[in-house]
Structure 1
Amino acid sequence: MRTVIYTHKGWFLLCPIYLGDIDSDAPEVIPRDWMLGILFAISEFLFACYVGAVELIKPDFEPMFPMVITGQLKEPLTLSFFP
């Protein structure tokens, strides 16, 4: 079982998210509520379309995910996942 501690909140395009391990190269990201999973998937799709279109024009384009950190959680959220 893998345990993740989410310490910050923010936005990924249209979806509100929780972020953990924000100082790493690959922070942990989940939607703030399970019902927002579809909104998270739509945001990923829109971003993939954008990256695909830009890479047609500029093949050496290196995208950065459009995540905005809006604040720190008052109490860290700890979740455990099966691998």
Structure 2
Amino acid sequence: MTKVEIEKLGDDYEVCYCMGTTLGEIIEAIKSGATTMEALKDRTEAGTLCGLCESCDIDEDEDREVHLDEIIAAYAQGS
């Protein structure tokens, strides 16, 4: 997923259902330096409970539109 596609979801889009972490919170954390999965988890708690939001490779929830690994790739590496 590209940065433009991610941004279309909006800041209020809930990426981590378990922790209620929004896309806006995740993007802000990445912009503040949390550019690895571990750092992002520490900063936002996203992905720390069931882990389904971490990667599309492990997602069993077909309703989820974006995953943490995709967001990190788009924002941390500048895609």
- Smaller-chain TM-score bracket: 0.3 to 0.5
**Larger Cα-atom Rg:** 1
| TM-score under structure 1 length normalisation | 0.33
Larger relative strand fraction? 1
